[in-house]
Amino acid sequence: MSLLVHQIGPACTLQDQGRAGFLDQGLSRSGAADQLALHEGAALLGQSPDCAALEMAGMGGTFEATQPVTIALTGAPMQASIDGSPIVWNASHVLEAGQRLTIGAVQQGNYGYLHVGGGIDAPLFLESRSAHLTAKVGRAAQAGDLLPIGPYSGSAGMKLRPDDRFAGGGLRALASFQTPLFDQETLDRFARTVFRRGTRANRMGMQLDSEGKGFAAKGQLDILSEVITPGDIQMTGTGNPFILLPECQTTGGYPRIATVLPCDLPRAAQTPAGGPLQFTFVTMDQAVALHATYLADLSRLRAQVEPLVRDPHDIADLLSYQLIGGVISATD
């Protein structure tokens, strides 16, 4: 069983929770830029968050099911339709054999996700299905690809109401081991500044713009290269910050002023160009408590899905709706 790709945007890759354990080999985790969206898709389909999904940066594609499949759409909202009839984002749907799912441009945020019941069953590489393009692991999806689908026996027609995380906002951050390289004046100014996401952004990292002078560290250019983790806020030589994302390098010499908490990384990654971002330092105790809440929220997602009630007014042509097909696939 598979999903045939007819058309596809330039930056769509398979992503799961990423691969841990290869940092010592210079390979960073990769995985979905918005991990919350991965969990939301799993909750909508009633399956494991370990399943791989298609991450679509900015633009989706056109897909055709070779057999009936169940899909879910999460993350940055994009225009989506099945055979021309609009479908709801943050919801699960049935795509019958031969039907075309069209996902267009992003309306808010950056990364949308297409999940399938059973997960996209591509071969594992080093225990993960995540592409890591900067490490030349995997490749972007292309027209003509057949995305293999794993076995699945669940159903569709559910929705979630996630909080808006697609327009920037506040990010909680922790002091890290290189924070003391910055003087107090610089740290205070950093926390007061409202940044705008710059135009340079990909799965390695995203640039932050601000008015006024940069945020340089003392002795910035001669420090020993040390470990880098996703969420680190790294300064370039001119003191211009980047938030590092799942395909970041594993080690580097430019200093990090702070680290964004994992619970706020989805919001960071989804901030569109020009979107405002501001950092608040929290203590380690606060950070651990916030992290525990985040993990508990992820495990509660499945209890929060609710039936997708179809409003006949939203359906352009009620008679063409595949009511019978849905019944058949649900009882197979």
Partner 1 sequence: MTPQHTAPFPRIRTVGLDGLLISFADTMAESSNRAALAFRDAIDTSRWEGVIETSASLASAYVRFDPINLPHSEIQARVEQLLQQQDWYQAPLPSGRRLWKVPTVYGGELAPQLDEAAAAAGLSPTDAIQRLGDSRVRVLTIGFAPGQPYLGPLGPEFNIPRLKELNPMVPEGALVLAISQFVLFSGPTPTGWRHVGQTAFRCFRPEALQSFALRPGDEMQFLPVSRDDLEDIRAANDGSGGATCEEIPA
Q: Which residues bind partner 1 (CB under 8 A)?
A: 20-27, 125-126, 135-137, 174-177, 179-180, 184, 187, 223-227, 229, 231-232, 249-252, 258-259, 261-262, 281-284, 287-288, 291-292, 295
Cβ-based nearer residue to partner 1, 142 or 225: 225
- Cβ of residue 68: shortest distance to partner 1, in angstroms? 34
- Cβ of residue 231: shortest distance to partner 1, in angstroms? 6
- Cβ of residue 208: shortest distance to partner 1, in angstroms? 18
DSSP assignment of 207-220 equals EEE-SSS--PPTTG
- DSSP, res 149: B
Q: What angle do CA 279, 283, 286 make, to 5 degrees?
A: 95
267 and 294 in contact (C-beta within 8 Å)? no
- Cβ of residue 291: shortest distance to partner 1, in angstroms? 6
Q: Spell out the alpha helix ranges (H) of the chain.
A: 35-45, 184-192, 265-270, 284-304, 323-331
Helices (H) and strands (E) in the chain, counts: 5, 22
Helix 284-304 and helix 35-45, axial crossing angle in degrees, nearest 10: 30
Task: Pick the closest to residue 74 from 279, 327, 298, 311 (CA basis).
Answer: 298
Cβ-based nearer residue to partner 1, 44 or 171: 171
Cβ-based nearer residue to partner 1, 88 or 174: 174
- Cβ of residue 305: shortest distance to partner 1, in angstroms? 25
Cβ-based nearer residue to partner 1, 172 or 196: 172
Cβ-based nearer residue to partner 1, 153 or 251: 251
